[in-house]
Structure 1
Amino acid sequence: MILMKGAMEFMQQSLQQFYQSCLDKNHFVAVPTNQKEGNGYAVNSQYFEGDYWYYCHRNLFSICTHDFTVKEDVFINQKQPSYLSIYYYQTVEAYFYPAHSPIESNSIYCNVSDNEAYQVHFKKGSQLKSISMYITPVYFEQFIQPHYDFSYEESVEVFRRVKNPSRWSDLITLMLKIGNYQGAGVAARLFYEGMVAEALALMITNHHAEQKYQRKARCSRDDEKMLERVVHYIDGHLHEHLRLSQLAAIACMGVTSLKVKFKKRYECTITSFIQKKRISYAQKLLLTTDLLIGQIAVMVGYHNASRFTELFRKHTGFLPSEYRETNQSMSNDIGEQ
């Protein structure tokens, strides 16, 4: 396993300097780009083999592509500056740390970074192929706010509040267009500027559409209170067998009505919600106690250890024992940095 080198010192250096520093520290070698605008690199280290490309437009934005084979388990723990990012993972087998939520292939992920650590685990033997875009606060100060009266802080709210961007076909199409583009010179610089502006427009458009939908789909205040009672009960009784009829009685609703309103409010079924709660609690117990796997299974409501193991692997990508061992090992490595 490895913790990638290169803490972000964005405020003290340009984007170009930052990329060059990180690439040098991680043994990337410059290669020709066949006249494509930007900078191409290759790597063949103990951990990665493949190609990397990036394009920076002053300190305003950057665009990157990865096409790697992951040769060993890789844990990235890297401090990031303030920026907004959009990632399109074409192929990937990875998990965000520490929650170990899986990163899905053919999916969009949006992130707001504010000098926080980016922590992700890429699995040995997997292929990493992605296209990403990073937009700095300077871009908004110089180009967006003066002309459109839309600040970086407002964009942060859009990125934070947006839900389920992973399958947005319009954003996926845009990112693929970026990845396939081979131009150079003024045409390329104009192309990339246009793509960044269009990506922001799509984010804002989809955010407004979601807000409109949520206003229409919003539960009544009384229903909200009843659903909160159900969630509170679930949280306190994860170790028990939870019946829909029992939860419906707590909510003072019929079973069908509860299922419909719960899904509208929490954007998942009650069964899925309970599973996620149980697995999340199991993750905490695995990392903070020395309890046996079977004991933890019972404590989170699974008296069949095989069923617990199956669901745990489905949600995290790990067997419970692997999750405990991997996270303990990673925590030790992080502590040594």
Structure 2
Amino acid sequence: MYSSLNKDYMNLILTKYGFQQVSNSKDFNPLGTTWRLDHNIGKGYFWTYYHHSNLFSIKIHDFTLNNETIVESNMPKGLYIAYYSSISGEELNPYRRLNANCVRSHLNGYKSFKAIIHKNIPVHSIGIEITPSFYEDYLKKVYPSEYINPYNAFLEIDETTYFPEMVSLLKQIEDYKESGISGQLFFQAKILEAVALIFDRKRHKKQAKEQIISEIDMQHLSNVTSFINDHYAFDLKIDLLAKIACMGETKLKKLFKQLHKCTILEFIQNQRICQAEHLLSHTDYPIKQIATIVGYTHTGHFANLFQKATGLLPSEYRKVTQGK
């Protein structure tokens, strides 16, 4: 029942955004279904595979959009994890960058998804989703005495640039092209392995208890966030930010990360990369000048950080966004 609901909703979403079901491409496993994006909207494909017993699905994004596009979905319940090798945009709920070269989890059905995807930048990801039939029924039935709901384990992943075991596993799934019973068994085995990796990561990760952020601390954190947004191109020192926040440096670092799900340095870098994307897309400023404008004194360092965040060098990003 769930798989049918999930599949039907996914088909509606794909149709809404201009995808049409086509014959399977040799680039994808024949066990799945291939969708091609209308050339007036963009180019590329979306591939899906649904397990016959409603336990899981696999999805590959491999397309580019012609225009800035707001994407919204409110999928049925499911726990999703994906590796993004290329993407450029911002999630809007809550607002934050969509970074390339990272693993992200999303709790479908528990929270809606809304994002703006930037034009001309490839969206490439490989992801898996386990259904309630898997994590509420199957796991509990097979492991009754050891059962743990994986919800919190998926939740804690959120976004990370260091989960090499998961990246390797997802790439294996993407590259596998065998069909028939061998293909089905391979996919099922890899899903079980992925869930095991997620449980292992949670078990080995030192748990830090989150504290409730008081109203006054939340206001101070808002002040710091606004200050960073206005001064991200400057050399911001933690002692200055702590004074603005009216709290110690250690407390500021902890509460800021708890609130924004990233460190202060990562937040500043995200702001700089966002502005650099805009300048590369809409101006002819030299890359060295753009690096200076957003706060970097060394162009090479800026280029490395930009490529890590977007999957493209600044010159490549300008070329695809401006057609130069």
Q: Which residue, 22, 28, 34 being the options, matches 1:30?
A: 22
Q: Which residue, 40, 49, 56 being the options, matches 2:34?
A: 40
Equivalent position amino acid for 2:24 in 1: P
Gaps of 5+ in 2: 232-236, 273-289, 296-304, 311-324
Cα distance between partner residues in 1 of 2:238 and 2:193: 47
Between Structure 1 and Structure 2, how many residues are aligned?
A: 262
Cα distance between partner residues in 1 of 2:119 and 2:241: 44
Cα distance between partner residues in 2 of 1:41 and 1:203: 29
C-alpha spacing 1:210/1:43, structure 2 compared with 1 (3 Å): same
Equivalent position amino acid for 1:136 in 2: T
Secondary structure at the residue paired with 1:80? Answer: coil
Summarize deviations over 1:198-221 as a string: whole Å, max 9, x none.
Answer: 111111111122235x48xx9xxx
C-alpha spacing 1:13/1:246, structure 2 compared with 1 (3 Å): closer
Report the RMSD for the aligned CA atoms in angstroms: 4.2
How many percent of aligned residue pairs carry the same amino acid?
Answer: 20
Summarize deviations over 1:282-302 as a string: whole Å, max 9, x none.
Answer: xxxxxxxxxxxxxxxxxxxxx
> What is the TM-score when the length of structure 2 is the normalising length?
0.65
Determine whether 1:81 maps to 2:73: no
Determine whether 1:169 maps to 2:164: yes
Determine whether 1:108 maps to 2:103: yes
Matches within 5 A, 1:9-28: 13-25=4-16, 26-28=18-20
Gaps of 5+ in 1: 1-9, 219-223, 252-257, 280-305, 318-337
C-alpha spacing 1:145/1:235, structure 2 compared with 1 (3 Å): same
Q: Which residue of the partner structure matches residue 114 of structure 2?
A: 119
C-alpha spacing 1:229/1:11, structure 2 compared with 1 (3 Å): same
Summarize deviations over 1:256-284 as a string: whole Å, max 9, x none.
Answer: xx5466546655666767x69x99xxxxx
Equivalent position amino acid for 2:43 in 1: E
Secondary structure at the residue paired with 1:167? Answer: coil
Equivalent position amino acid for 1:51 in 2: Y
Determine whether 1:53 maps to 2:33: no
Which has the larger Rg?
1
Q: Does structure 1 conserve the Cα–Cα contact (< 8 Å) formed by 2:105 and 2:159?
A: no
Secondary structure at the residue paired with 2:46? Answer: strand
Which range is displaced more, 231-240 or 101-110?
231-240
Equivalent position amino acid for 2:23 in 1: V
Secondary structure at the residue paired with 1:187? Answer: helix
Cα distance between partner residues in 2 of 1:174 and 1:246: 40
